[in-house]
Amino acid sequence: MWVMKEYGIEESWTKVYKYDTSFNPFSWCSGLWPIQHFEEGAAILLYDYNCLIYYEPAKYRCKAFEIHGSRSDCFEIIPHIPSLISLKDVLKGDNIEVLNIHSRCAKFKLREETEGLSLSQLTV
C-alpha cells in the first residue's frame, strides 16, 4: 500500500507496507479492501460488504467478523479522518457545486437504519 505523504507532491509517494499474498487464509475471498492500517503491520479489511477481517501478517493470523444489524443488503464503509476543513475549501473546479444538505435533510432519518450494528466472530 502506498501513501502520498504531501498532497500534490508526486515524489512524496511512500510504500507503507506490503502484504504477503502467498499466505491467504481467505482463499475463498477475492475482494478485500483495506479500511485501516496499523503501525505494527496489522490491518482491518472489508470483504463482501458484510464482513470485517482483522489481519496480522507478521503472526500469520487473522480474525473475521460478520456485520449484523443492517436492514439493507448494501451499505458502504468509508474510512475518513475527521477534520474541521470545509469541503468548499478543498474542492475546486468549474463543474463542482457544494450543497449544504444538512439543513434540508436534518429532520429525516434513514428508515430502519438508526439502530447500531454489531459484529460476531466467524470461524475460519
Report if pTM > 0.85. Answer: no
CA R_g for the chain:
19
Give me the pLDDT at residue 11, please. Answer: 92
User: How many beta carbons lie within 10 A of that of residue 63, not counting itself?
Assistant: 13
From first to last of the 124 residues of the chain, give the pLDDT tens digit: 777 888 888 899 988 766 655 555 555 455 677 788 787 878 888 877 678 888 888 888 888 888 777 666 665 666 666 777 766 666 666 666 655 555 444 555 555 544 566 667 676 5
